Structure 1
Amino acid sequence: MSFKIAFITDAWHPQINGVVTTIQNTCTTLERSGHQIKLITPDQFKTIPCPSYPSIRLSLACYGKLSRQLDEFKPQRIHIATEGPLGLAARRYCLKHNLAFTTSFHTLFAEYVNLRFKIPVSWGYGFLRWFHAPAKKVMVATQSVEADLHARGFKNSLVRWSRGVNPDFYYPRDKAFLSMPRPISMFVGRVAIEKNLDAFLSLDIPGTKIVVGDGPQLKELKAKFPETVFVGFLSGEPLAQHLAAADVFVFPSLTDTFGIVLLDALASGIPVAAYPVTGPVDVITSDKVGKLDSNLKKAIADALQLDAQDCRNYALNYSWVNCTEQFFNNLVPAFEEI
């Protein structure tokens, strides 16, 4: 049986991150299964750049247009993915029309806002509890996030929505693609304060450090760490080639709820070095594919000893089909309990 599913998200292109990747793959897989998807995204509205992060677009005066879109579409299932302007407008619409909906918790919003604007974390979680409170279910990627939200006073039904990887795109390739001194320690992702890149780039380790990605901290880090190779933003085949040519994938973030790029690295046969925090502890559950240590330098040295095929085999356990099935089974009828 097919359904009309409305999917509202403030996270969308031109952003390149795990949230956008997850939403795009989930919606594509749902459509292939015969469902009709109505994606409501910032590119459909007048927007302004987010302060300190211009690639994030904030929709303006969006309630009227969003309401008309949902009135016309008449969704049978409604999912609100983010807590931004579109998420707030969709929440308001659902409450006004007595429609049941689900939400998802993708990022440590309160911690990010604290890092950037010094707003107390407790205030951020107060807003998040208020935002998600009317949702029938809140989808989270990992057990660690679920436990943390319960501890922070979330009373919702918290359910799992994991992540996937495309193993036909990310796979082991010729390491000769990069001819720099080895071992090559690589980070791929947003070059931003919440990724804690200083902790990686300040390490005294042999070989070459490479950062693939763009973001608001790029200029600062280029000046601070001139010996690091900053490749800039990559996508498609060049991204896959760079990733597969590394010797170890370094993930210094302390504030990720999952870290989908970890799966991309593992599928490429690249072991992971990270801190033992939410995200890495949920993804790297075998010491055959990654090393988690509060001493990141030690984690990198230990990860370099791991086998590429073990990493690849581990990543194959994650699929977008399974991820999408989880998501679909979590949805609730929009007209439930009215």
Structure 2
Amino acid sequence: MIPVALIVVIAVVDVFSGPDVHLGPLLVVAPALTASFAGPRLTAGIGILAVGAQVLIAALRGGVATRNHVMQIVAVTAISTLVWFLCVRREQRQRQLVQLRSVAEAAQRVLLRPLPRRVGSLRIASFYLAAEDEAQIGGDLYALARTDAGVRLIIGDVRGKGLAAIGDAGQLLGAFRENAHRHATLPELTAALEESVCRYLAELAQTDLDADERFITSIVVDLPEDVDAGGLTNCGHPPPLLLRQGRVSTLESPHPAPPIGLCQGSEADGEYEVDTFMLRARDVLLLYTDGVIEARAPDGTFYPLAERVANWADYGPEALLHHLRRDLLDHVGGRLADDAAVIAIERAPVYLPGHYLS
């Protein structure tokens, strides 16, 4: 209604003004304004209405055939047509963008599948914050596989950003999902992941000169369902946190392995060792990428992860990550400079009729 009101006001003022006042060319404001919030059809309709108003003004003020009025009609018609054409092009590009975005989102969901909320006695929560605008994933990754012995998880961080990092993440995720069920031990599984990524990077090196500078820090975790003992192999990744009875401890690895993809040519399993830990009932294991601990506030201070999660240690995985996500974004002022991924795993207590097993 605003463009229509503008046309009416401009036409009335022009008709009742003196012979030296010509407001007709201002009618182009109506289709231009319409194009800012409406589609081509409404823009065209308002443009036709503006041209009609200009013809009416000319008829009431000396005749349509006068040179001045002819030029005004031509000008309003030409500019209205141009505005309509630009509106059509904008609509076409928006449809293309929506289609591309839907394809990208589908691909991202396939690549980074949501983790189940519960597997056996384990309660699981996760979140992913991508630094890139309009993106759901970037160079961080995580995945879960359920095996006969329990649950295996991987979390990792690809060196670099952009499409190359997403490709490297996809390669490692595919290798993990393929090999998680084939190898009995974490060293064997990690060696298989290294072999797969190195083969991929060797093929990539034929066309990408930076392929030999790419690697992935990661942690692979084994969590049996029937015992409290767990194991992990750390390949150059920030150490997990263990939340127990309101206290937070860091699971530092005494013998971390190098990141995956360095391809140093050593014989597989020997360089990978398993660090064991206990995950008892109500304990929470927190896995994260360096985008969390390296997140900076506007004053340059890093995010104090261990200190903050201690406030929510007894909340359970979902509530813990809800508070952590909000607090992390508040710390950085709403926008991360790097991707951030977090997984929280709690071993739920087991209840039996008349018994409680901790």
TM-score, normalised with respect to structure 2? 0.27
| Greater C-alpha radius of gyration | 2
Q: Could you say which structure has the greater relative contact order, defined with CA pairs below 8 angstroms and 6 or more residues apart?
A: 1
